[in-house]
Amino acid sequence: MDKCSCWTGWHKLWRRKRPQVLVVGSVNIDLYQKMEGFSIKLGGKPVDLTPVKGMTLPAKSLVDNVAIASQLTGAGIEWVPGQEEALLLTMDGPFEQKTGGKGANAAAAAGQTCECEFVGNFGKVTDAANKMILADLKQYGNVNTSRSDLIEGPTGTAYILLFGDNDNAIVLIGGANQSWPSTSVAEDSSRIFSAIEQSVAVMLQREIPDHINVQVARTAKSLRRPVFMDVGGTDASLDEALMPYISVIAPNESELTFISGVETTVKGEIKKSLVRAAVQALRAKFAAVGNANVEVLVTLGGKGSMHFGSDWVNEGAEDDTGLLPHECHMGAYVLATDDGRPRDTTGAGDCFRGSYVAARYAEDRSIADSMRWAAAAGSLSVEILGAMPSMPPHHAIQARQAAKMTQTVFEG
């Protein structure tokens, strides 16, 4: 064997043995539209999306929203129940096409810090878009997609509808993300079993069917791999069949309210005491199904993030920084945009979570160090338009860590 071939073979072996994060989840073609005011147009008729601002919803959940449904009826827009995706496909353009999906975004983010594999479904009828997505997964995260599948139908689509303040509403057309087999995908002989076995942690999201998440999480736990769960992508309740297998659940503050049943804000202001009450209620739900040790990682927008460890309880005296035992709070970084505001928040949560998992499990960093790394990555992601294209490179994350944070103490 010549010198070059020998080095190449060793290099490939070394890469395979590096710690790897596995993401099983969704991949989307993202269609961006800057809205006029707060409205989209369906067949030329305006529909105000203010009631779902900041939310990511399947098409059916958007149309079923009481305020949205009332507008549709008032505008004389008709649809057949079960055909909500077809209705949304009549949305007036123009659109700017980019790449995304909660699973693919998280994989790209993790891939900036460590080795990462993504397993998801692409649709055969969107070949040109698939090539764009695969190229971006390589460019923005060097992600291994060799065990992803190409199936009949279209790749998933997400309408990213931007408000004037650069917040958004996201509407999902499931496509290939919802077309997984009903039989087990995590048996010893399956592509996913091997991927789980070769990983140090598994990331899941809710833009794919619950039964797939349950099978993957159950297998991961049997192989003693931590399961990190992003709860975004749907307004459905958490599947109780999944809850026993989750190691870390990671909602934002509004998702925490939804899955816990406890409000986290007063007059729009996030309060630490309310976040604690919501986490306490959520952990009680997990304990009821036999998982009393679940960790909770909550992203809080401009207030940073909080982690609640497996031994955390909502009692006792706060320390000098205002934290209870087994709590960790990380502030947010000052943005480098001209006005100090986000340019596009799409994918920022995916970026934070993918970066956190990579740092904590692949690089074996502490919880606080992993949160700081993720905060730096997330702050960079909101400065760039797009989801996957906004995942920052490793050197930029390192540089941002030296920048100023808006706060290190979370009041309330």
Q: What is the pLDDT of residue 10?
A: 34
Q: What is the pLDDT of residue 12?
A: 42
pLDDT at residue 15 above 70?
no
Q: What is the pLDDT of residue 141?
A: 84
Domain that holds residue 271: 19-28+100-155+175-400
3-state secondary structure of 327: strand
E strands present in 127-240: 149-151, 156-162, 168-173, 201-204, 227-230
Share of the chain above pLDDT 90, in %: 68
Q: What is the pLDDT of residue 18?
A: 82
161 found inside a domain: no
Of 75 and 410, the structure prediction assigns the larger pLDDT to 75
Where is average pLDDT lowest: 14-23, 142-151, 186-195, 394-403? 14-23
156-211 pLDDT, tens digit per residue, is 999 999 988 878 899 999 999 999 877 667 676 688 999 999 999 999 999 999 99
Q: What is the pLDDT of residue 186?
A: 67
Average pLDDT score, the chain: 89
- Number of structural domains (the chain) is 1
pLDDT at residue 246 above 60?
yes
Q: How confident is the model at residue 14 (pLDDT cuts 50, 70, 90)?
A: very low
103-135 pLDDT, tens digit per residue, is 999 999 999 999 999 999 999 988 889 999 999
366 found inside a domain: yes
**What is the mean pLDDT of the segment spanning 247-263?**
95
Pairing verdict, β 156-162 and 168-173: antiparallel
Q: Do residues 77 and 45 touch, judged by C-beta distance below 8 A?
A: yes
Q: Where are the alpha helices (DSSP H) in 166-301?
A: 191-197, 210-222, 253-260, 272-288
Residue 98: HSE in the Cβ half-sphere, 13 Å Cα cutoff: 22
Using alpha carbons, select from 216, 211, 248 the residue that is nearest to residue 230.
248
Q: What is the pLDDT of residue 8?
A: 35
Q: How confident is the model at residue 140 (pLDDT cuts 50, 70, 90)?
A: confident
5 found inside a domain: no
**What is the mean pLDDT of the segment spanning 343-354?**
91
pLDDT at residue 1 above 60?
no
Of 17 and 243, the structure prediction assigns the larger pLDDT to 243
Here the tokens at position 375 are 């905060």
319 found inside a domain: yes
Q: What is the pLDDT of residue 76?
A: 92
Whole-structure pTM over 0.85, yes or no?
A: yes
Q: What is the pLDDT of residue 358?
A: 97
Query: Among all chains, which residue has been given the structure tokens 């073609």?
Result: 29
Spatial distance between the Cα atoms of 344 and 383, rounded to a whole number of angstroms: 7
Pairing verdict, β 305-308 and 327-330: antiparallel
Domain containing 123 — which CATH number?
3.40.1190.20
Q: Which residues, in sequence order, are bridge partners of residue 308?
A: 296, 327
Q: Do residues 23 and 137 touch, judged by C-beta distance below 8 A?
A: no
267-322 pLDDT, tens digit per residue, is 888 999 999 999 999 999 999 999 999 999 999 988 899 999 999 999 999 998 88
Q: What is the pLDDT of residue 404?
A: 80
Q: Do residues 152 and 123 touch, judged by C-beta distance below 8 A?
A: yes
Using alpha carbons, select from 409, 68, 389 the residue that is nearest to residue 235.
68
Q: What is the pLDDT of residue 296?
A: 98
Query: Among all chains, which residue has been given the structure tokens 């764009």?
Result: 132
Question: How far are the Cα atoms of 140, 359, 361, 373 from residue 364, in angstroms, in the given order?
Answer: 22, 6, 5, 12
Question: How far are the Cα atoms of 233, 364, 371 from residue 133, in angstroms, in the given order?
Answer: 19, 30, 28
407 found inside a domain: no
Spatial distance between the Cα atoms of 185 and 191, rounded to a whole number of angstroms: 8
Of 37 and 101, the structure prediction assigns the larger pLDDT to 101
193 found inside a domain: yes
Q: What is the pLDDT of residue 185?
A: 73
Share of the chain above pLDDT 70, in %: 94
Spatial distance between the Cα atoms of 237 and 217, rounded to a whole number of angstroms: 17
Per-position DSSP letters for 283-333, written without gaps between them: HHHHHHTT-TT-EEEEE-GGG-EEEE-TT--S-S---TTS--TTEEEE--B
pLDDT at residue 393 above 70?
yes
168 found inside a domain: no
User: How crowded is residue 141: how many other Cβ atoms within 10 Å of its Cβ?
Assistant: 27
Q: How confident is the model at residue 101 (pLDDT cuts 50, 70, 90)?
A: very high
Using alpha carbons, select from 46, 365, 350, 16 the residue that is nearest to residue 199.
16
Q: What is the pLDDT of residue 403?
A: 87
Q: How confident is the model at residue 351 (pLDDT cuts 50, 70, 90)?
A: very high
Q: Do residues 233 and 206 touch, judged by C-beta distance below 8 A?
A: yes
51 found inside a domain: no
